[in-house]
Amino acid sequence: MPTPAPDRRRPARRRRVLTGDRPTGPLHLGHYFGTLQNRVRLQQTGVDLFLVIADYQVLTDRDLAHRPAEHAENLVLDYLAAGIDPELATVFTHSAVPALNQLLLPFLSLVSVAELGRNPTVKDEIAHSRQAAVSGLMFTYPVHQAADILFCKADLVPVGQDQLPHLELTRTIARRFNDRYRTDLLPEPEALLSDTPLLLGTDGAKMSKSRGNAVPLGATEDETARLLRGATTDADRHITYDPQRRPGVSGLVRLAALCQDRDPHAVAEEIGSGGAARLKATVTEAVNEHLRPLRTRRAALATDRGHLRAVLDAGNRRANAVADATLAEVRAVMGSV
């Protein structure tokens, strides 16, 4: 049998996966079901996993990044508690990898102002922005994110639904770069959505760290109960699963179902005429039960902040080596000196 020709586009290397979070607060159930579980699964299949703590991106929608270093360490804590293995994954902060930011300039030249202006996620984040005026970075951060993904030539990006427009732009940038410089240097990454690409928060909108509607993974059982008690429901006492017409109630039903690995209709039926109070009690118990092992690991890991910083140091070193190599290749194909 003839040996297949080597694939020049993809030299023999482990599949790379890049994904990340902004250090704006502790990770919540939306992250967990939206992307974190997928990250851990991918790690277990042996991919080369990169996790970016996107600290520069925090500046997109607020004038000040509050305690970014502390938030970054806490993200590492949440990752490890959820099952990310620092021996297998590269966890790094954006601001520690200067070569990554140098990729921003050539990439920015490949997109139009109009393209940036019509990005629906950017529009949504502007609406929730805590800035006095919309900054230039707000419009350009999807390109920044493209640099995060392309610096390590990621093949796959496990994200929530809100990130799909950004990922499409990353693919466009990779394609245009390859066309303009007649190269095949940058692979076009694929998005990986979970079965829960958009988990709603206690107010019925996308659960987000910065919108006060999240249940953090590291919350205590009592805090979890308090947050879920405050969730928005509706006037109909009979509990059903109907995401279109009853987003609040259905969001809670879905959360219980996810935690118990059950069908949401069955969960709703069981609660039936028990009303919102019974629904909230059920969800609280399901969440606390499901997260108990994670929370136990988290509490143990939290006693050693030095370890969390060491994980970041090692990740930053590796990410810098990868980014330096990609920047050198990019400069070479661009003919830079």
> Contact positions toward ligand ATP, by CB under 6 A?
21-22, 24, 30-31, 34-35, 159-160, 162-163, 197-199, 206-211
Cβ proximity to ligand ATP: between 80 and 327 the closer is: 80
Cβ atoms of residues 150 and 106 within 8 Å: no
- Contact partners, residue 186, CB within 8 Å, separation at least 6: 150, 153, 173, 174, 177, 178
Cβ proximity to ligand ATP: between 116 and 330 the closer is: 116
Q: What is the dihedral of CA 254, 256, 257, 262, to 10 degrees?
A: -170
Cβ proximity to ligand ATP: between 37 and 177 the closer is: 37
Give residue for tokens 């704006």. 24
Cβ proximity to ligand ATP: between 37 and 326 the closer is: 37
Smallest distance from the beta carbon of 170 to ligand ATP, in angstroms? 13
Which residues make beta-bridge pairs with 216?
A: 28
Smallest distance from the beta carbon of 66 to ligand ATP, in angstroms? 11
Cβ proximity to ligand ATP: between 68 and 86 the closer is: 68
In order of 30, 125, 138, 229, the CA distances from 141 in angstroms are 22, 11, 6, 36
Smallest distance from the beta carbon of 24 to ligand ATP, in angstroms? 4
Decide: helix, strand or coil at residue 46: coil
Smallest distance from the beta carbon of 60 to ligand ATP, in angstroms? 9
Cβ proximity to ligand ATP: between 48 and 61 the closer is: 61
Stated as kind and residue range, the H or E segment containing 328 is: helix 305-334
Smallest distance from the beta carbon of 125 to ligand ATP, in angstroms? 7
Residue 134 one-letter amino acid: V
- Contact partners, residue 255, CB within 8 Å, separation at least 6: 29, 199, 283, 286, 287
Cβ proximity to ligand ATP: between 206 and 246 the closer is: 206
- C-alpha–C-alpha distance, residues 270 and 167, integer Å: 40
Cβ atoms of residues 268 and 239 within 8 Å: yes
Smallest distance from the beta carbon of 265 to ligand ATP, in angstroms? 21
Please report how many Cα atoms fall inside a 13 Å half-sphere around the Cα of residue 85, on the Cβ side: 11
Smallest distance from the beta carbon of 21 to ligand ATP, in angstroms? 4
